[in-house]
């Protein structure tokens, strides 16, 4: 498998984000309960959706849901987060590390108390 970065404005990225969101969005159900056997996959899906942030609404959904999963998995550091992502897909390129680092900051900032 090869992962490449695509410009976020192209149609296929919007389609992928919409499909990723549809995959994990559950009405009147416990998302963490449904994915309990595959939390690493859910983490990866939410991370990929959040990285693209097709729209502000999508970005808020993916980051907010990712925050819940990070808390549930008790991931306390960026290194733990990266290791959990590696359970699904090894991401070696610096570009991906930068995206994941920014996402980790956004995710942990969302869970920090506001001053």
Digit-coded pLDDT (tens) for 58-103: 888 889 999 999 999 999 999 999 899 888 887 666 767 788 888 8
* Whole-number pLDDT of residue 115: 40
Digit-coded pLDDT (tens) for 42-63: 998 899 888 877 677 888 888 9
Q: How confident is the model at residue 114 (pLDDT cuts 50, 70, 90)?
A: very low
**Phi, psi angles (nearest 5°) of residue 45:** -60, -50
Residue 15's SS3 state is helix
Q: Which residue has the tokens 């990285």?
A: 51
Digit-coded pLDDT (tens) for 11-30: 767 777 788 888 888 755 68
* Whole-number pLDDT of residue 104: 93
Say yes or no to pLDDT of 110 above 70.
no
Do the Cβ atoms of 46 and 62 come closer than 8 Å? yes
Cβ-Cβ contacts under 8 Å for 35 (sequence gap 6 or more) = 24, 41, 42
* Whole-number pLDDT of residue 98: 81
Taking the C-alpha atoms of residue 73 and residue 95, their distance in angstroms, rounded to an integer, is: 25
* Helix ranges (DSSP H) in 1-111: 11-24, 31-34, 39-52, 56-72, 78-86, 94-111
Do the Cβ atoms of 71 and 111 come closer than 8 Å? yes
Residue 7's SS3 state is coil
């Amino acid at each position: 498998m090869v992962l490449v970065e695509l410009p976020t404005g192209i149609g296929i990225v919007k389609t992928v984000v919409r499909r990723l969101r549809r995959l994990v969005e559950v009405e009147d159900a416990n998302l963490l309960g449904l994915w309990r056997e595959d939390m690493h996959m859910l983490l990866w899906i939410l991370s990929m959706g959040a990285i693209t942030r097709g729209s502000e609404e999508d970005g808020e959904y993916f980051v907010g849901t990712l925050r819940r999963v990070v808390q549930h998995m008790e991931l306390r550091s960026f290194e733990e987060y990266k290791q959990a992502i590696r359970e699904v897909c090894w991401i070696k390129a610096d570009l991906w590390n930068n995206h994941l680092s920014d996402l980790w900051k956004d995710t942990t900032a969302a869970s920090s108390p506001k001053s």
